Chain A
Amino acid sequence: GESVGLHLPTLSVQEGDNSIINCAYSNSASDYFIWYKQESGKGPQFIIDIRSNMDKRQGQRVTVLLNKTVKHLSLQIAATQPGDSAVYFCAEGGGSNYKLTFGKGTLLTVNP
């Protein structure tokens, strides 16, 4: 079936560096994408979303880029902080299916 997957299972960065977390999706009908952050022992928290009519969307220190040609999604975190350490999931949805499909997750570790 259709799936969402991540290129890198783990990412380690230095505090203050920028982080980029990547995600590949396979359902060309998907038109809505979300990034979630999950800290240890907690449920996933919404970070930012983007619809397929956009290529880029910015939030506070985070930017999501969508490349529909190659079905690729990325999350950029500027000036990464220790509090950004978490597992990050991408999710896709769309068409007649209102359910989201989640990727495997990337563990981001920020070193002080």
Chain B
Amino acid sequence: EADIYQTPRYLVIGTGKKITLECSQTMGHDKMYWYQQDPGMELHLIHYSYGVNSTEKGDLSSESTVSRIRTEHFPLTLESARPSHTSQYLCASSENTGLYGYTFGSGTRLTVV
């Protein structure tokens, strides 16, 4: 049973629109991550956070931004969506100490037309 939730599951939006992908977890994890994944392809880390008011860019450059005002919430925003942003976006969180596996949400599949 996943304790990390992403909304919406699917989103089709026009070019130039501003969008926010929501991610919330109820496990009290300090660490949270956003990955971008094209169908059948590898996971690319685009943002991560180690706690409230902490955000870092990941390995893959992204035009999106994130915020971490509350421990449980890690939203991702695209100010002006483009077709090149079409992808699946996965949110994850992990234990606060040491290195442990991530718990992933179900993802948001974004299509920009």
Listed in ascending order, the chain A residues whose CB lies under 8 Å from chain B are 1, 31-32, 34, 36, 41-46, 49, 87, 89, 91, 93-94, 98-100, 102-105, 107
Contact = CB atoms under 8 A, between A and B. Distances in A.
A41 B2 CA distance: 15
Contact of B99 (A1, A42, A94): A94
A83 to B, nearest CB: 18
Interface residues of B, number: 27
B42 A103 contact: yes
The interface centre, meaning the residue of A42, A44, A89, A94 with most chain B CB atoms within 10 A of its CB, is A44
A42 B35 CA distance: 13
Given A42-B107, A93-B99, A99 B90 contact: no
Contacts of A102: 35, 42-43
B101 A34 contact: yes
Interface of B: 2, 6, 31, 33, 35, 40-43, 45, 48, 50, 59, 90, 92, 94, 98-107, 109
B104 A44 contact: yes
Where chain A touches its partner, the secondary structure class is strand
Contact of A87 (B40, B48, B94, B106): B40
A93 B99 CA distance: 7
A49 B101 contact: yes
Contacts of B92: 43
Contacts of A1: 59
Contact of A45 (B31, B50, B104): B104
B102 A100 contact: yes
A42 B48 contact: no
Contacts of B103: 46
